[in-house]
Structure 1
Amino acid sequence: MRIARFSIDGNVAFGAISAAAGERGPDDLVLDIIKGIPYADFELSGVKVPLSKVRLLPPVLPSKVVAVGRNYAEHAAELGNEVPDLPLTFFKPSTSVTGPGDDIAYPSFSSELHHEAELAVVIGRMCREVPRERAKDVVFGYTCANDITARDVQQREKQWARAKGFDTSCPLGPWVETDLDPADLAIQCTVNGQQRQLGRTSDMIRSVEDLIVHISEAMTLLPGDVILTGTPAGVGPLNVGDEVAVTIEGIGTLTNKVIKRG
Structure 2
Amino acid sequence: MGDCCCNPLSLGYVQKLIEKEIPGVYVKSLKIGNTIVEDIEHGYFMNVNLQVKYVCEQLKADPNLSTGYNAIGFSQGAQFLRAVAQRCPVPPVQNLISIGGQHQGIFGLPDCNYFKQKWCSYISKVLTYAAYEKWVQDELVQAQYWHDPLKEEKYRNASMFLADINNEKVNNTNYKENLLRVKNFVLIKFNNDTIVVPKETEWFGFYKPGQITEFYTLQESELYQNDLLGLRQMEESGRLKFLSVNGNHLQFTDEWFVDNVVKKYLQNKLLT
TM-score over 0.5 for the pair: no
Structure 2 length-normalised TM: 0.25
Q: Which structure shows the higher strand fraction?
A: 1
What is the TM-score with the length of structure 1 in the denominator?
Answer: 0.25
Name which structure has the greater RCO, CA cutoff 8 Å, separation 6+.
Answer: 1
Which of the two has greater helix per residue? 2
